[in-house]
Amino acid sequence: MKAKIEQQGLLKIKTDFQWLLGRYRQVLLALGEDQLVQHLFNSTGGLQPRIPNDQETIDKMTQALSIAFQLLNLVEENAAVQFRRKLEDQLGLYAIRGSWAETFDFWKKASVTEQQAIKHLKEIRIMPVLTAHPTEAKRVSIIELHREFYLLLVKKENSTWSNKEKQNLFQEIDAILDRWCRTGEIYLEKPNVQAERDNIMYYFKEVFPRALRETDQNLRSAWNVAGYDPDILEKADHYPIVEFGSWIGGDRDGHPYVSAEVTKETLSIHRAAALELLQNALQELGAKISFSNLIQPTPKILSTAIQENIQILGSVGQKEVERNPNEPWRQFVNLIQIKLQHTKEGSSEADRAYPSTNELQADLSILRASIEAVNGQQIALNLLLPIERMVQCFGFHLTRLDIRQNSTYHEKAMDQLLEATGFAANQFSNWTEAERVAFLSNELQHLRPFAVRGQSYGREADAVLAYFSVIADHIREYGPAGIGSFIVSMTRDVSDLLVVSVFMREVGLTKVPLQIVPLFETIEDLQRAPQVLDAFLKHPVSQQRRIFLPPIQEIMLGYSDSNKDGGILSSRWSIYQAESQLSAVAAQHGLKCDFFHGRGGTISRGGGKYHRFWDSMPLGSVSGQTKFTVQGETIAQQFANPLNAAYNLEMNLAGIARQLFLDQAAHPYPEQAKPIIARLAEKSKIQYKQLTHHPAFIPFFRQATPIDVLEHSKIGSRPSRRTGQNTLDDLRAIPWVFSWNQSRFHLSGWFGIGKALSEL
């Protein structure tokens, strides 16, 4: 049956694509592009390009082919959604690989009780982190066209349209194709950080709230089908936590345009958008919760809360209550909205606003209790639970902004700071690791800072102190919820992490619950990672800071850079080994690891299906808390529409849930395979490095790929090189992978494996 549905899906892709090509052909003819049509299509209307003689038609054909392939992508995306629907209808929810239903089916067969299941669910906390890595070549205008077009493809699936309605729909499709043909597809000017931030705000405000609700509904459906008690999932605190992160405005690794002011502005935009999101949701709730106390009595908990809030809010509160006589539930929602507005305006009167989400959650709990008191459980589930989940997952901050910088940059800042405060110039960067650790350990015993606020110490030092100060000011005003982690790119030694503690001390951040996160990127760094983590966790400063942190240590793993460093097999094996060893080190310190996976879109950058990715984790390495980057073009591919976004969120949540039980069940693992894979990885790395270190490799790379074009492209605000040097080490991993892909050589995805296998 599944094979038959798959065949129907493939046929649907072919049929829908051919139909769209026909409409596309008619649009081009209407635009007077007869010559282009002759070179683009064959006599039956199929796509069969033939190279024209004149440059103008060649240029037009380049765009026309690009549009055709993007149409195919949209057709495939829609067909995938329809395919999953057919599988669910004809084979059951369990048929979707990696879904909640499959995970719960696995749990039931393993005799997992409801109590154990809820415990697992509450342990899960995922955080997709959106980044502006320069792999998205399409302009925002084109991405928005894609969104419009996809919705029309979904509308076309409705089999009940009349002929007139179908014609109207087809005209809408033609109109978008017409606009598309007239719109430039790629950036002619390099986008700035603000433009990149504006783009991803669409996902945080429009897509993710809807996707979260859809994912929760999928969870409940699968839970009920599995035979678990449906009443358990009526409360928000029984659900997994889905938070969202961002690097745009906080990632300054090799990015000179992410200033302290940009970070400050970004945090303000996030907060304003989060409060607006909640205001809109509560306004919609108020419009729907029109219960009359003439039909059911007002519960005492609600009437008491209304009177207390009127006393606090005064005449403004009284006026809002009088707007809806005999509708106490709506009155209370109105009062909540007033307090949210005061929160948005920054009211200094704590009782007239919400100092944090805790107070808002308390009011929503009163509202829930009052609804349940009149037997409105179903109404609470459908109307109130989505808002409770929004508060839980988006808070007043919308997304957590990570702060990332390179360890070498921190070294320069420390040199300047020490020189300006009486130490020898460049002394710190010339010290041995032991000397650095000794100095930093001694220094961190004191609370007095090096720097005086307002004093200049040098370009790098001033920049670092400025953005650390922005974080400190934001936390003092709003708390730490909107801040992610301090991530140190190219972490090689424990001193790279202790330096961050010094910067935190400089601005008064020693007692805040923020993680200092090592990012292990190269093969060598991944191999040394367990030693570095052990030294860091043993350090007295780390142990003192653990008082303010949960029993979790966040660690970021670099897929792209390790691949560029040693080839794909060596990279993946090094990451696998590091995860296993780092988990063991953390356990020795009574901690679990929150692995932050720096994945990209392609295989050589860690890409692939989410459920397969989680299935590949080492036994015991999945704690339930995890972060992963969503980069460049994969943001639109995975999250441009809510249904697809919900599917990808579900694959992550259910995949991690499955791994949690596998860990506890001590699933057997073929230990005898490890030395074989280790040999393959080493042989592969040797072969790979023989190529990349060959004297003629760089000229070959520059002639075989369009790297020169990518280095001058306008697809991202960040430079393609970290420091501007013309070396392979300085080249970022993304243009490295992107350039091989553009030449269809894909060297980063395979080179070295064949040699290793043949020697084995």
Residues serving a catalytic function are: 133, 564
CA dist 365 and 336 (Å) reads: 12
CA dist 365 and 57 (Å) reads: 64
CA dist 475 and 509 (Å) reads: 9
Residue 624 DSSP label? S
Tell me the CB-side half-sphere exposure of residue 356, using CA atoms within 13 A: 10
Contact indicator for 49, 69 with CB cutoff of 8 Å: no
CA dist 476 and 490 (Å) reads: 30
592 strand-pairing partners: 552
**Nearest alpha carbon to residue 484 among 434, 519, 441, 524:** 519
List the structure tokens of 112.
């997992």
Q: CB-based burial of residue 600 (10 Å sphere; 0-12 exposed, 13-18 middle, 19+ buried)?
A: buried
Q: CB-based burial of residue 64 (10 Å sphere; 0-12 exposed, 13-18 middle, 19+ buried)?
A: buried
Strands 552-558 and 592-598: parallel
Contact indicator for 293, 328 with CB cutoff of 8 Å: yes
Residue recorded with tokens 């409409």: 23
Residues present in the chain in total = 760
Buried b (16+ CB within 10 A) or exposed e, 371-383: beebebeebbbeb
**Nearest alpha carbon to residue 177 among 205, 207, 149:** 149
Q: CB-based burial of residue 223 (10 Å sphere; 0-12 exposed, 13-18 middle, 19+ buried)?
A: buried
Q: CB-based burial of residue 421 (10 Å sphere; 0-12 exposed, 13-18 middle, 19+ buried)?
A: middle
List the structure tokens of 208.
């993710």
Buried b (16+ CB within 10 A) or exposed e, 268-297: ebbbebbbebbbebbeebbeebebebeeee
Radius of gyration of the chain (CA): 28
Buried b (16+ CB within 10 A) or exposed e, 162-190: eeeeeeebeebbeebbeebbeeebebeeb
554 strand-pairing partners: 594
Contact indicator for 101, 46 with CB cutoff of 8 Å: no
List the structure tokens of 14.
């072919």
242 strand-pairing partners: 126
Neighbours of 425 (CB within 10 A): 12
CA dist 651 and 211 (Å) reads: 13
Contact indicator for 301, 370 with CB cutoff of 8 Å: yes
Neighbours of 310 (CB within 10 A): 18
Tell me the CB-side half-sphere exposure of residue 754, using CA atoms within 13 A: 4
Residue recorded with tokens 């809820």: 118
Element (H, E) at 303: helix 300-313
**What does the H/E/C string look like for 48-102?**
CCCCCCCHHHHHHHHHHHHHHHHHHHHHHHHHHHHHHHHHHHHHCHHHCCCCHHH
Residue 298 DSSP label? P
Residue recorded with tokens 């765009």: 63
